[in-house]
Homo-oligomer: A and B are copies of this chain.
Amino acid sequence: MIQKLIANIKKTNAPIVVGLDPMLSYIPKWILNNCYGEFGQNLKGATEAVWRYNKAIIDATYDLIPAVKPQIAMYEQFGIDGLLVYKRTVDYCHEKGLYVIGDVKRGDIGSTSAAYATAHLGAVEIGEKKYAGFDEDFATVNPYLGSDGINPFVDVCKEYDKGIFVLVKTSNPSSGEFQDQLVNGKPLYEMVGAKVEEWGASTMEGDYTNVGAVVGATYPEMGKILREIMPHTYILVPGYGAQGGTGKDLVPFFNKDGLGAIVNSSRGIIAAYKKDEYASFGEKNFADASRQAVIDMIQDITQYL
């Protein structure tokens, strides 16, 4: 799977991913009003608005980008109706040729981790047929439970040609509370990073493995060290833009081949029309503002590579 993603990154010359993390407060009023009018001011109306908002952004950006990263929590908060729109979004992105990184941050042990892997990357067997649940291409996974939590995902990745990104050093201010604690003189995230490289070893495709890592753009110095510890690991980098990371900060996350990292932006792209910089597009043309924000983000990052 990782080589398919790399091929798409090379084709678009865009090592970026658009985070489809819709909040009701991001959605232009006219879409909400239309949907509330048609379906009622209720779960159906709200989730239909999420769908139309997503679809417009995907339609306006899909030719520029290799992948998207929907954050499942933003859908899950609407219960079943929200998860139906999550699935619809995943499927539509696939139709448009995009790879989908399900930002699900799942993780458990043994048969339970296997069930999560099945839900997002594999398929359940019922009689002689297989049924895929959400069918993303990659999923994000939490490492706190150790190898017992990761290996079932790795097995499913091998069977279904999929990939994962394991949380190593997250972008948030308090990520250091546990991740930065020194273990034998080195921060825990370095130990997790070394494990990621190990977990991925049996999944090599070319220069990279199908077990990637999540490392926040907000910590470029740590990114540099992790890049060295995990030479064969693709790094998914959140925290660009709204969380404070800039294009220049991202250089350490990439390898010398210009590959090895893919940078996410969510709010900065999908709610671009709310920023002064793109306000001239107006609420009606919010998707065009997202397109321009994607173009600017690609330029901001690739100028340093």
> Is A303 on the interface with B (CB-CB < 8 A)?
no
Q: Indicate which residue in B23, B74, B181 contacts A188 across the interface (CB closer than 8 Å).
A: B181
User: Could you mark each residue 105-126 of chain A with 1 if its beta carbon is under 8 Å from any beta carbon of chain B, else 0?
Assistant: 1111111110110110000101
Tell me the nearest residue of chain B to A82, going by C-beta: B133
Bound: A193/B80 CA distance, A: 34
B167-A131 in contact (CB<8A): no
Give the number of chain A interface residues (Cβ < 8 Å).
Answer: 69
User: Could you mark each residue 162-176 of chain A with 1 if its beta carbon is under 8 Å from any beta carbon of chain B, else 0?
Assistant: 000001001111111
A271: min CB distance to chain B, Å: 12
A21-B112 in contact (CB<8A): yes
Among A71, A126, A142, chain B packs the most CB atoms within 10 A around the CB of A126
Q: Indicate which residue in B46, B79, B149 contacts A87 across the interface (CB closer than 8 Å).
A: B79
A145-B126 in contact (CB<8A): no
A109: min CB distance to chain B, Å: 4
Residues in B with CB closer than 8 Å to A195 are 177
Segment touching B, from A9-17, A36-44, A200-208, A280-288: A36-44
Bound: A145/B184 CA distance, A: 21
Residues in B with CB closer than 8 Å to A108 are 71, 73, 105
Bound: A41/B174 CA distance, A: 48
B124-A77 in contact (CB<8A): yes
> Is A132 on the interface with B (CB-CB < 8 A)?
yes
A148-B134 in contact (CB<8A): no
Residues in B with CB closer than 8 Å to A119 are 73, 76-79, 82
11 pairs of residues in contact across A and B, judged by CB atoms under 8 Å: A71-B112, A73-B106, A73-B115, A76-B119, A79-B134, A83-B83, A107-B142, A143-B178, A144-B179, A178-B188, A183-B188
6 additional contacts (CB under 8 A) given A148-B172, A181-B191: A76-B115, A77-B118, A78-B124, A80-B84, A143-B178, A146-B179
What 5 pairs across the A-B complex have the smallest Cβ distances? A79-B133, A146-B174, A146-B177, A73-B115, A109-B172
